[in-house]
Amino acid sequence: MSPVFTVSDYLNARRAQVDEGLLRYLPTPPQCPAPVYDAMRYSLVAGGKRLRPVLVLAAAETVGIESPERARELALPAACAIEFIHTYSLIHDDLPSMDDDSLRRGQPTNHMVYGEGMAILAGDGLLTEAFSLLAREPQDPLLAERKLKTIQQVATAAGAMGMVGGQALDLDAVGAAKTFDRHSLSDMHARKTGALIQAAAAAGALMAGADDEAVAAIETYGRHLGLAFQIIDDVLDVEGEAGRLGKTAGKDAKADKPTYPAIYGLDESKRMAAERMDRAVGALTGAGLEPGRLADIAAWVVRRTN
């Protein structure tokens, strides 16, 4: 049994493991030119919730056919690769041509420090290095099939059918809050935010050697969790404070973007997030999996304040 018991202790322990892995796997000078290394590292070590990589590790523990320690070892490269991708998406999301934001994780955004061109390259570098890492680690030829399935999952989630497609819809939605329908809102967020969260959960399950039924249940869990996360993000953009959020609050309303509170109201949005949490956990129990830390993570997502 793990010596970690509380949810807070568990999250902190897994975040520390991820933070160590991120710096170990990030290319360094002289192999990587110092200017782009500095820009990549700046955003990568700026903190954050580390939800996606922690989710990779927790999913691996849940379905692992070996010990939790071995499951985490197998899944750590995928966890770090997904955080590379998430960080790239934040760097690009903050650019003047996208959301044009100056604050991220309580610090100046990447392009404010390194310039727009270097920020674009830092994002490009992190995205590409993510797939190099997924293909390379762990260095065991017996894991080739697991790695290939994981790469496919993550690439689909990060690309035009997933996160990139969701960002395109988000750009197109500026000024459209009053005309955006509920299906379009759900579709946009399922792609922009939910796809990578779902892929993170699936990646952990795949790298830990889960069978098809368990992977399918974990994917369903991740899909509901991703929507719950985005609903709460929208709520916090209305109710949160910039100092606590670590980013500019109220930007969605100023840009007249469609959000869950704008369409459903705050109370109904919170109810919907709680319902998604229940459905996420139900997907696991329905497949005979012990929810454990994945249930804890789902509850934390819905109750968070930043």
> Is the pLDDT assigned to residue 296 strictly greater than 80?
yes
**Which tokens is 263 given?**
């369409």
pLDDT in the model for residue 243: 46
pLDDT in the model for residue 250: 61
Average pLDDT over every residue of 159-182: 87
Residue 109 confidence class, pLDDT cut points 50, 70, 90: very high
How far is it, in rounded angstroms, from Cα 41 to Cα 45?
Answer: 6
Residues, the chain: 306
Q: Residue ranges per domain, the chain?
A: 7-303
What DSSP state is assigned to residue 194? I
What DSSP state is assigned to residue 96? T
Residue 64 confidence class, pLDDT cut points 50, 70, 90: confident
> Is the pLDDT assigned to residue 55 strictly greater than 60?
yes
pLDDT in the model for residue 180: 79
Cα of 64 vs its chain's centroid, Å:
21
**Which tokens is 100 given?**
């044009």
pLDDT in the model for residue 2: 46
pTM across the whole model: 0.93
Domain 7-303: CATH superfamily, name plus number: Farnesyl Diphosphate Synthase (1.10.600.10)
How far is it, in rounded angstroms, from Cα 221 to Cα 200?
Answer: 11
The residue with tokens 């796997």 is: 25
pLDDT in the model for residue 247: 52
pLDDT in the model for residue 239: 87
> Is the pLDDT assigned to residue 1 strictly greater than 50?
no
Residue 287 confidence class, pLDDT cut points 50, 70, 90: very high
In the three-class reduction of DSSP (H, G, I as helix; E, B as strand; rest coil), residue 108 is classed as strand
How far is it, in rounded angstroms, from Cα 74 to Cα 76?
Answer: 6
The chain-wide mean pLDDT, for the chain, equals 93
Inter-residue contact 36 to 44 (CB < 8 Å): no
Residue 257 confidence class, pLDDT cut points 50, 70, 90: confident
pLDDT, one tens digit per residue, over 261-280 is 989 999 999 999 999 999 99
pLDDT, one tens digit per residue, over 196-249 is 999 999 999 999 999 999 999 999 999 999 999 999 999 998 887 654 555 565
**Is residue 296 exposed (0-12), middle (13-18) or buried (19+ Cβ within 10 Å)?**
middle
